[in-house]
Amino acid sequence: MPLLHSGLILLIVLGLLLGAERWLHRRLQGVTILLTGNQDIALWLYAILLFPGVALHELSHALSAALLGVKIGGISLLPQQKQGHIQLGFVPVEETDFLRASCIGAAPLLIGSAVIIAIGYSVFGTPAVLSSLATGNWWGALQGLRQALHAPDAWVWAYLIFAIGNTMLPSRSDTHAWPLLGAVLVFGGTIIVLAGAGALLLKTLSQLLTGAVHWVILLGVSTLLIDLPFFLLIIVAEKILERLKRQKIVYR
């Protein structure tokens, strides 16, 4: 696919992923509150359901910091509620330069993506399904999905993708150094262009970006496909609990 076309698809997929993650966290909290009737118990149940993803997220920060020689404090995987905001995990990292800070912040996204792609390839045959969708072969895609559901321990692997995919996106604190890194990259690219190596730079970047965009689209679509049955389950559970308890959660 041309890079511009791929970029447009990428923006759509990333927007859907971000919207899906926000929807999930709000609705999952609502269902746990309806189920338990106690906010403290609901908080722990909510955290337990997403624990594999939270653990991978925080351990990714810790591992990348250790590899880059940056000190960290103790890893916390216990949920906390602070000023109306729920924190499912935390790894305190010492102040460092913007390059290492950017890498540490991006680690959960990169490692989580690698894990999801590995599961998709080895368990669900994701590339074959997406290839069928790309060519308009809906029957082939449905057949591929049907076969994926019969994979050994399919729902266990699907749950892992669900938990990881909805906790791997960087938080605001993870991205605090990214604007400076972006500014440095733009400045460096400008210097290279002014030095007369612009054509070679653009060709190399185009090849790298095309490959990276392809993988991110593959990751995003795979995650969204896995999310669908879990989202339907959450919606059904919420409606049933609302009727049984004669209560309704209002989302603001």
Task: Give 236: exposed, middle or buried? Use CB within 10 Å, 0-12, 13-18, 19+.
Answer: exposed
Q: What is the largest CA-CA distance in the chain?
A: 70
pLDDT in tens, 117-149: 888 777 776 666 666 655 666 566 666 666 666
What is residue 2's predicted lDDT score, i.e. its pLDDT?
59
Residue 136 inside a domain? The answer is: yes
Output the pLDDT for position 11: 82
Are 119 and 225 contacting, i.e. CB atoms less than 8 angstroms apart?
Answer: no
Domain-embedded: residue 140: yes
Distance, in Å, from the CA atom of 180 to the CA atom of 173, rounded to the nearest integer, reads: 14
What number of CA atoms fall less than 13 Å from residue 51's CA on the CB side?
10
Contact 65, 104 (CB under 8 A): yes
Instruction: Give pLDDT tens digits for 200-218.
Output: 555 666 666 666 677 777 7
In this predicted structure, what is the pLDDT of residue 79?
Answer: 87
Residue 12 placed within a domain: yes
Provide the domain count of the chain. Answer: 1
- Take residue 224 and report the two structure tokens written for it: 């969204």
- Domain contains 251: no
Tell me: pLDDT of 158 over 80: yes
Which domain covers residue 32, as residue numbers? 3-245
Query: Is the pTM higher than 0.85?
Result: no
Within-domain flag for 128: yes
